[in-house]
Chains A and B, each alone.
Chain A
Amino acid sequence: MSKTKPLVVENLTIHYYTVDGVIKAVRDVSFDVERGEAVCLVGESGSGKSTIGLAIAGILPENARIINGKILVDGINILELSERELEKIRGREVSMIFQDPAASFNPLFTVGQLLSDIIRYKLGIEDKEELRKRVIEALKIVALPDPERIFNSYPHELSGGMLQRVAIAAALLTNPKIFIADEPTTMLDVTLQFQILNLLQAIRRKFNIAILFITHNLGVAAMICDRIIVIYAGTIVEIGPTNDILRNPLHPYTKKLIESIPRTSAKISRLKYLAGSLHDLREIPRGCIFRPRCDEAFEMCEIETPKLIEIKPRHHVACHKYRVK
């Protein structure tokens, strides 16, 4: 059992080049995921969370450039690998599932063919019997009823929930070290979401896989993750154990995020909300990027960008309110 962490991200900076300018989408992001741990990247649209996921999986769009940083998968910096070496990592050591499962599957092939291809390509196994056995087993792990029928089905014949389970099965085929899930339940009904999240929990426990879960839903994060990373406008504002963050949020953004969620558990007379909108990421202002929307800001916030500091055990925050003197 190697001692290296399945995932370490260091000073990751990613820019997008567009017709309207250069968007500094991710700036100096660092975090890690331990073996068997589930970590949530929580942020709203434009926060950069998906970009980080795509960078780790090695599938950033053409106009994205990694300006700086390291991504260490099991100790190896994948940003320094050649395309061929990257092929071995992508889909093998690092697996990813997406929001729309239908978009990940070629509609011309059956589930059996698609999953067999993955095993064949990534693990080099050619024997048909062996392939079928492994695929059926994977389909069983994700609790799909009647795996034989699913093996012979085409993606469009399956419902969204079933297809997402197939996607999870496909992602697990190669025994990845790290499993990235980018908003996998956002398109699903709430009862299905519940089932899928429970499934992911079960799989995590059984196989001790590290999971990086990307979501905008704090409730989902609460259900599945040990640690939460709150990301705003391309930078991490708070990291900590889930219970800690939910009970004692430190960063003003995290607080506002929690306050603005309507609950089934309590009747709220008025929802508190976060005023303003996301800054234009083509021009990064001096100081803290959350300052324009923060009602606890003071002079320092305009001058200096706050760094992530550990305030409590394993609970870090990037906010001048908590400067260690």
Chain B
Amino acid sequence: MFLEDIRVTFKLIKSSLTSMIGFIIVLGFLLIGIIAPYILPYPEDAWGVSYNIEKSFLPPSIEHPFGTDEMGRDVFSRVILGARFSLIIAVGVVGLALIIGVPIGLIAGYVGGKIGEALMRITDMFLAFPPLLLAIALAATLGRGLLNTVIALAISWWTWYARLVYIQVNSVKTLPYVDAARVIGLSSLTIMFRHILPNALTPVVVQAPLDMGSAILEAAGLSFLGLGVNPPTPEWGLLVTEGWASINRAWWISFFPGLAILVTVLGFNLLADAIREASDPRLRRILLVERRV
């Protein structure tokens, strides 16, 4: 069934310019993120293990398309490698949040009653904290670093998925095909995983790409506040931070990582729009062929 979903999603993506742009951006991001270490023009610069004071603060040129930073490191290489870290964060945060949130929402929704409500109250407690604040608090307690950043963000994120799934499961479980499954004589577990879960995941599938973009943004925010990854990791947010002090004299150090964040998050948002339309069975069928933007 998921192949069918993908097919329709592709059709929708192709039919609109913005979706196409979003798809290309995200695809580009994924590719660069994966092969980053192999395409770096200046690998040592990227990993931050070298510095070259004579070459510091060079404006963008052919050898250094994004210029160099205060340590003489090639900003372009750092941004490219940064894509990998952002990718790890995006997939890690959302993935972890899903692994925790979806089963909780599923069980709470299916079992319902007092147990379901109790589970949701616990979820609500987490939801009550502004996500960024929670992430900051956790990062401050757990310390800096890539893993801790991912964990901190995931902990503040899973509640949203749990609630989404819970609501969806509640409406799906009253549908006739769930009754039909019970009449066939299936066990509760089978019904939960075969009939309810796949149909309850729709809002999650729509939300996930959007959240990947947001995760990158929030991680960048944490880095900016000094709570995210450790230097010299070339995570985009950290790159922006590091270039902030010299923003007047060398705008390119913060600008290009910042642009990378902007473009990537935009790409995810545009793609998420297309996925959202693909997931709505009514919208799916009535999309205008002539629509361009």
Q: Are A22 and B286 in contact (CB under 8 A)?
A: no
* A13-29 to B contact mask, C-beta < 8 Å, 1/0: 00011111110000000
Judge if A264 is at the interface, Cβ distance under 8 Å: no
Judge if B192 is at the interface, Cβ distance under 8 Å: no
CB contact under 8 A between A62 and B285, given known A19-B8, A19-B11, A19-B12: no
Give the Cβ gap from B108 to chain A, nearest Cβ, in Å.
27
Q: Are A17 and B290 in contact (CB under 8 A)?
A: yes
Q: Are B290 and A19 in contact (CB under 8 A)?
A: no
Judge if A313 is at the interface, Cβ distance under 8 Å: no
* B188-219 to A contact mask, C-beta < 8 Å, 1/0: 00000000000000000000000000000000
User: Which of A17, A19, A62 has the most chain B CB atoms closer than 10 A to its own CB?
Assistant: A19
Q: How far is the CA of A80 from the CA of B224 in the complex (A)?
A: 58
Q: Are B289 and A62 in contact (CB under 8 A)?
A: no
Judge if A63 is at the interface, Cβ distance under 8 Å: yes
- The one of A19, A22, A61, A62 that contacts B15, using a Cβ cutoff of 8 Å: A19
Q: How far is the CA of A30 from the CA of B287 in the complex (A)?
A: 28
Give the Cβ gap from B287 to chain A, nearest Cβ, in Å.
5
Q: How many residues of A contact B (CB 8 A)?
A: 10
Give the Cβ gap from A63 to chain B, nearest Cβ, in Å.
5
> Which residues between 1 and 53 of chain A lie within 8 Å of chain B, taking CB atoms?
16-22
Q: How far is the CA of A19 from the CA of B290 in the complex (A)?
A: 10
- The one of B286, B289, B290 that contacts A61, using a Cβ cutoff of 8 Å: B286
| Chain A residues near B118 (CB-CB < 8 A) | none
Judge if B262 is at the interface, Cβ distance under 8 Å: no
> Which residues between 1 and 18 of chain B lie within 8 Å of chain A, taking CB atoms?
8, 11-12, 15
Closest A residue to B282 using CB positions: A61
| Chain B residues near A19 (CB-CB < 8 A) | 8, 11-12, 15, 284-285, 287, 289
| Chain A residues near B288 (CB-CB < 8 A) | 17, 62-63
| Chain B residues near A20 (CB-CB < 8 A) | 285
Closest B residue to A64 using CB positions: B286
| Chain B residues near A61 (CB-CB < 8 A) | 286
| Chain A residues near B289 (CB-CB < 8 A) | 17-19, 21-22
User: Which of A20, A21, A22, A61 has the most chain B CB atoms closer than 10 A to its own CB?
Assistant: A20
| Chain A residues near B287 (CB-CB < 8 A) | 17-19, 63
> Which residues between 83 and 115 of chain B lie within 8 Å of chain A, taking CB atoms?
none
Q: How far is the CA of A18 from the CA of B12 in the complex (A)?
A: 11
Give the Cβ gap from A243 to chain B, nearest Cβ, in Å.
39
| Chain A residues near B284 (CB-CB < 8 A) | 19
Closest A residue to B12 using CB positions: A19
| Chain A residues near B290 (CB-CB < 8 A) | 17
Closest A residue to B289 using CB positions: A17
Give the Cβ gap from B228 to chain A, nearest Cβ, in Å.
41
| Chain A residues near B285 (CB-CB < 8 A) | 18-20
User: Which of B12, B15, B289, B290 has the most chain A CB atoms closer than 10 A to its own CB?
Assistant: B289
Q: How far is the CA of A18 from the CA of B288 in the complex (A)?
A: 6
What would be 8 A-B contacts, judged by CB atoms less than 8 Å apart? A17-B287, A17-B290, A18-B286, A18-B287, A19-B8, A19-B15, A19-B284, A20-B285
Give the interface of B toward A (CB within 8 A): 8, 11-12, 15, 284-290
Give the interface of A toward B (CB within 8 A): 16-22, 61-63
9 smallest A-B Cβ distances: which pairs? A63-B286, A17-B289, A19-B287, A63-B288, A17-B288, A19-B11, A18-B285, A18-B286, A61-B286
